[in-house]
Structure 1
Amino acid sequence: MLNTLHEESRKVGLEINLTKTNIMTNHTERPIYMENSSLIYVNAYIYLGKQISFNQQNNELEVERRVNITWKKFWSLKEILKSDMTIRMKAKVMNTCLLPSLTYACQTWKFTRTVKNKITSCQRSMERSILKIKKIQKISHTDIRQKTKVIDALSHSQKLKWRWAGHVARLSDNRWTRKTTQWTGPLGQRRRGRPNAHWADDIIKVARTQWLRAAENREYWSSLEEAFTFQGEGSC
């Protein structure tokens, strides 16, 4: 089937790059060839800037990856962020350059306690750094935020997810976006132990199990947004 896809792609002027084509599976690995070349199996892959993996910790690993990328971005801007420029200028750089980097693709995240802590810890560490404050000084996060006035990364990312969830719920056509959101998982018995976190778990806590129907009312859905972000802040 893969070779057929390759042949049909060539007919319309497209070429599959074999060096960038990898395979992931959650089952037995079997050799797959394209033009007599064996394709490589990988445990994770970066697609459209987001890490894809069958690993049960993929959600936390992706957020950790975003944190590392954001710190690299932070130090690439150290001439501004570590300088004697005004806090207002530094905050503007954090909001326009670092916040999008940290919250990229946050609409797909499961906001577990671990994820919330990673986001909050990253931003607070950066705020202390631009203010040249050491953690041992034990200055409260509230006082630091009053000085920086940066956009809260956790609340911002949760707002983006909430709005995306509402958008998906209001899709009227039969898109894969809606189908995968409604999918309840494979049939059969699940493994023993605590169930894995699901993408919609935090949404259901606020909007209940019929959230897809509730989101069809834009005004009502918007009224729940504050409760959703407040829930996130309170559980960190």
Structure 2
Amino acid sequence: MKMSVDGQRTGLQWNPSEQLEDLDLADDLPLISGTHTHIQRKATRSHEHSQQIGLRRNVGKTKVMRLNTKTHQPITIEEQSLEDVVKFIYLGSNISTGGGADKDVELCISKARHAFKTHRPVWLSSQLSRNTKIRIFNTNVKSVLLYGCETWKTTKSIIHKLQVFISNCLRYILRIWWPNKISNVDLWRRMNKEQIHIEIKSRKWGWLGHTLRRDPRNIARQALDYNPQGKRKPRRPKSNWRRSTLDELS
């Protein structure tokens, strides 16, 4: 990647003196650019340099996601057009064009539900104590559910979905099945658990402190002060909209 972007300025203006060209981890390589010309040039150069050292990019697994762009010209590698997508998975997180964390939370709940079903013999075992089951639940299920929650933009809907899932799991562990009933407050008190939004806030503060202690040149540290390029379209005042609508009706 250093050879591919050396001498080029084809990324996003990250700070006054640097541009963000790509994010790399193992074989996951997202290229970032602000124009179609730049991303095409970067994709071609990275593909050519990869071939020089014996690597070949899988065109079928390479995707393109566009954000706030007017052009729909395809990105090509070896005359093959790359598929346009509205979401993709990177480092276990769901990245989508709409932003927000709803899709990511749904993915985490799905993974956590599978993990919970896998441990069904544990939950039904009479040889394990309640404390042991809760510890297994925290390490094998809850950790999957809250993976990456430090960067989520949480809403009431998201908190509700997470809390409902955890409450259902705890009821199953305690064998509180219909027609038996218990309030959520009593359930959390019996299991010595805090509400999920409190734990997420605690994790966010911990992650923020860890990030602030990083080197100022670290990408995660710089992201806290990043000011995106471009301008938002001005919203049309409601008063003008109402006035124009009344004029049209009259």
Residues 100 and 32 of structure 1: CA distance in aligned 2, closer, same or farther (over 3 Å): same
What is the alpha-carbon root mean square deviation over aligned residues? Answer: 2.4
Pick the aligned partner of 1:132 from 175, 179, 189: 175
What pairs up with 1:155-234 in 2 under 5 angstroms? Answer: 155-190=198-233, 192=235
Secondary structure at the aligned position of 2:101 is classed as helix
**How far did residue 104 of structure 1 move?**
0.6
C-alpha displacement of 1:135: 6.6
Match of 1:77 in 2: 119
Question: Structure 2: which amino acid aligns with 1:70?
Answer: A
Is the 8 Å Cα contact of residues 128 and 135 (structure 1) preserved in structure 2? Answer: no
TM-score, normalisation: structure 1: 0.71
1:11 pairs with one of 37, 52, 55: 52
2:159 and 2:196 in contact (8 A); partners too:
no
> Residue 190 of structure 1: CA displacement?
4.5
How far does the alpha carbon of each residue in 1:52-106 deviate from its partner, in whole angstroms, 9 at most, with x for none?
A: 11114x4112112111111111111111123434322221210110111001111
CA distance in 2, matches of 1:192, 1:121: 37
Q: Which residue of 2 aligns with 1:51?
A: 94
The higher radius of gyration belongs to 2
Distance 2:86 2:52 in 1: 32
Residue aligning to 2:78: 35
**Counterpart selection for 1:112 from 134, 145, 155:** 155
C-alpha displacement of 1:136: 5.8
Does 178-187 or 20-29 show the bigger shift?
178-187
Q: What residue identity is the alignment partner of 1:110? A: K
Alpha-carbon separation, structure 2, partners of 1:183 and 1:93 = 39
Stretches of structure 2 that go unaligned for 5 or more consecutive residues are 1-40, 237-250
For the residue of structure 1 that corresponds to 2:89, the secondary structure is: strand
Q: 2:145 aligns with which of 92, 102, 107?
A: 102
Number of residue pairs aligned between Structure 1 and Structure 2:
192
Per-residue CA shift, 1:90-147, capped at 9, x if unaligned?
2121011011100111121112222222222211111011112147644122322343
Matched-pair contact (CA < 8 Å) for 2:216–2:222:
no
Contact 1:91 1:150 in 2 (8 A): no
Aligned: 1:24 with 2:58:
no
SS of corresponding position for 2:74 = coil
More helix by share: 1
In percent, how many aligned pairs have the same letter?
Answer: 28
1:78 & 1:47 partners in 2: Cα distance?
A: 29
Q: Aligned to 2:102, which of 27, 47, 60?
A: 60
- 1:88 paired with 2:131, answer yes
Structure 1 residues 136 and 180: alpha-carbon distance in aligned structure 2, compared to 1, 3 A threshold: farther
Give the distance between the partners of 2:232 and 2:64, measured in 1 at CA: 28
TM-score when scaled to structure 2?
Answer: 0.68
Label 1:13 to 1:160 Cα distance change in 2 as closer, same or farther (>3 A): farther
1:183 to partner: Cα distance:
2.3
Distance in 2 (CA, whole Å) between partners of 1:175 and 1:50 is 20
2:65 touches 2:86 (CA, 8 Å); kept in 1? yes
Q: What SS is found at the alignment partner of 2:98?
A: coil
Q: Tell me the distance in 2 between the aligned counterparts of 1:37 and 1:143.
A: 59
